[in-house]
Amino acid sequence: MSLFRFSPKAGRYGLPFWELEKMRDHMETIYNALAGGVSQIRKNYTGVFPLVNLFEDDDHLYLMAELPGAAPDKLEVSVKGEALSLRGEVRAAEAGDEVNYHRRERESGSFRRILALPVKVDTERIEAAFRNGVLTVTMPKAAEAKAHQIAVKTE
């Protein structure tokens, strides 16, 4: 059971029951997506690829990107200013033309993703490693980005 509070305003539909119209539109969108199958839902999907985690400790920034099926020699990692760029290609194994897929969710193809870094990094000492489909980029923070302890003097 749904409970809606109706506003005396007309809303975007110009009707006093605009919440019901909005709900009908949402239900119609869901129905159309389901009637079209998974391919219709994936067509409307606007996710990002590759999936990444960006985190830091006192001295480094770390980026971990999930890239199953990527060839390490096809990956490009670059840092310019406070932006990191990932570029590459992921190939999914094809089962052949004579098969019918029931679900096809793995991303494949070329990609490029640019991420803003929260601090400046020392670009000369960046390291990247690729193991078990996960790219790990270790970026030492620039000296000016590190926190400095300041002694408090008493008079």
Q: What is the pLDDT of residues 42-61, one digit of tens each?
A: 444 445 688 899 999 999 99
Q: What is the pLDDT of residue 47?
A: 57
Residue 14 has a pLDDT of 55
Distance CA 127, CA 51 (A): 19
Q: Give the burial class of 153: count Cβ atoms within 10 A of its Cβ; 0-12 exposed, 13-18 middle, 19 or more buried.
A: exposed
> What is the predicted pLDDT for the residue at 44?
46
Contact 60, 138 (CB under 8 A): yes
Residue 113 β-bridge partners: 86
Q: Confirm whether pTM is higher than 0.75.
A: no
Report the percent of the chain where pLDDT is more than 70: 79
In the chain the domains, ranked by start, together with CATH numbers, are 1-46 (no CATH), 52-93+107-144 (2.60.40.790)
